[in-house]
Structure 1
Amino acid sequence: MTRTSLRRSTLSLLVLAAASILPLSGCFPLMAGGAAVTASVASDRRTTGAIVDDEGIEWKVSDKIARQLGDRVHISVTSYNRIVLLTGEAPREENRALAERLARETENVRDVVNEIQIASPSSLGSRMNDANITAQVKARFVNQSQGAFAPNHVKVVTENGVVYLMGLVTRREADAATQIARTTSGVRKVVRVFEYIPEEEARRLDRQGAEPKAPPKNGP
């Protein structure tokens, strides 16, 4: 079985697992259709293990923060290649520090970038505006005329008008994505949380993601 086939099979199992758990707990977000998930995973530069870990890390850290801090804070947890980005608001410095400690103590977390602001939780209107900015940035990534980078290689998170960009990218790709994000309406600032890789490594990872699926075996 090729690396791509293994990744597709693993994520298919994850989709089924999440679907079976969702009606019971309500803790998992609704996932995209199988075809969309397969296409995204096949071209992802992360390993299958990292993708699986990122999903688990986000859920575990969010659950820990909710249990410890409740509605006193508004903290979003984003994990990419096992690096955790914490964004949002907390009323006290000790709340901010606790959220970071909970994230760092979580299994498989490599590092934590703490961007939590000391402030009251943001309003619903502010969060809706952030969601709109994220959608605009992603749309502009897709519609870029130069094709400087693949849109699914850059993860976009927005908090209070500040756009955070994550991903395994080259310096050239990072610069192109940053330029698009910073010129999007409503964006106050862009923070790069990228992991940088050489151009040769990027091409190697992309070739692996483009490997054709192995043909099915005949017989038992």
Structure 2
Amino acid sequence: MPRAALLLLPLFLLPLAAGGCTPVGVAVGAGATAATASQSERGLEGTARDIAIKTEINHYLFQKNVDLFSAVGLSVEDGRVLLTGSVPRPEDRIEAARLAWKADGIREVINEIQVVDNSDIVDKARDTWIETQLETQMLFDSGISSINYDVDTVNGTVYLFGIAQSNAELQLVINHARNLDYVRNVVSYVRVKGAS
């Protein structure tokens, strides 16, 4: 099987993970996934590569420890990996980064996992609310190509990851994030298209 076909395979298998899909539903889901991936800055092949990396890292995390797997958030863009989430021990934070480096095609691992004693359900609900609000604002802002961004929020800190079309677009995203209730900090690992 050609390498490109292997890279694209996860895109078409992704809708199957939802389970209970009819063949028509699978075809529509696979088509929508492929169409969305082709519209992103990374293109279809780049998106497929990143999905393969993310799948491999998740596999390592799950094999090591189910709690670690569920505690770590993961974004991948062009071989760059952003780890977020919260864990109870510093060793868990280090282990997550070590496991991420094991995946093929990794160019950089950014470890923003927080070490906290206990994160309560109210904080998690606020983080989810922040993410939902920010993603909605980005989607409806015509100055932002929201498909190129990943947003993760941990204990009120918003982490931005992806590719901006310009510095002006990135500033719009950061401003949206800063103006939301409960946001304590905004950390951007977004690359600007064309910048080194």
TM-score when normalising by structure 2: 0.79
Structure 1 match to 2:78:
81
Rounded to whole Å, the distance in 1 between the matches of 2:63 and 2:32 is 33
Rounded to whole Å, the distance in 2 between the matches of 1:49 and 1:37 is 13
2:182 to 177, 186, 189: 186
1:177 to 153, 163, 173: 173
Moved over 6 A (4+): none
Structure 1 match to 2:126:
129
Kindly state the Cα deviation for residue 153 of structure 1 after the two structures are TM-superposed.
2.1
The 3-state SS of whatever aligns with 1:33 is helix
Structure 1 match to 2:102:
105
Q: Deviations over 1:55-114 (max 9, x none)?
A: 122222122123223326721122122211111122222221111111012111111110
Looking at both structures, which has the greater relative contact order when contacts are Cα pairs under 8 Å and sequence separation is at least 6?
1
2:138 to 124, 130, 141: 141
Rounded to whole Å, the distance in 2 between the matches of 1:58 and 1:102 is 11
1:57-68 alignment runs, 5 A limit: 57-68=53-64
Residues 171 and 196, structure 1, Cα contact 8 Å, conserved in 2: yes
Structure 2 match to 1:204:
none
Consecutive unaligned residues of structure 1, counting only runs of 5 or more, are: 1-5, 24-29, 200-220
Rounded to whole Å, the distance in 1 between the matches of 2:132 and 2:17 is 28
Structure 2 match to 1:202:
none
Rounded to whole Å, the distance in 1 between the matches of 2:16 and 2:157 is 35
In structure 2, give the amino acid aligned to 1:111: E
Rounded to whole Å, the distance in 2 between the matches of 1:70 and 1:121 is 17
In structure 1, give the amino acid aligned to 2:94: A
Q: Deviations over 1:19-77 (max 9, x none)?
A: 44665xxxxxx9x8356434422321103232112212222212212322332672112
Kindly state the Cα deviation for residue 196 of structure 1 after the two structures are TM-superposed.
2.1
Residues 34 and 44, structure 2, Cα contact 8 Å, conserved in 1: no
Residues 69 and 95, structure 1, Cα contact 8 Å, conserved in 2: no
Rounded to whole Å, the distance in 1 between the matches of 2:16 and 2:139 is 32
2:145 pairs with 1:150: yes
Residues 74 and 122, structure 1, Cα contact 8 Å, conserved in 2: no
Identity between Structure 1 and Structure 2 (%): 26
In structure 1, give the amino acid aligned to 2:186: V
Q: Deviations over 1:130-174 (max 9, x none)?
A: 222111001111233xx3221212221111221111111122221
1:37-56 alignment runs, 5 A limit: 37-56=33-52
**Whose radius of gyration is greater, 1 or 2?**
1
Structure 1 match to 2:112:
115
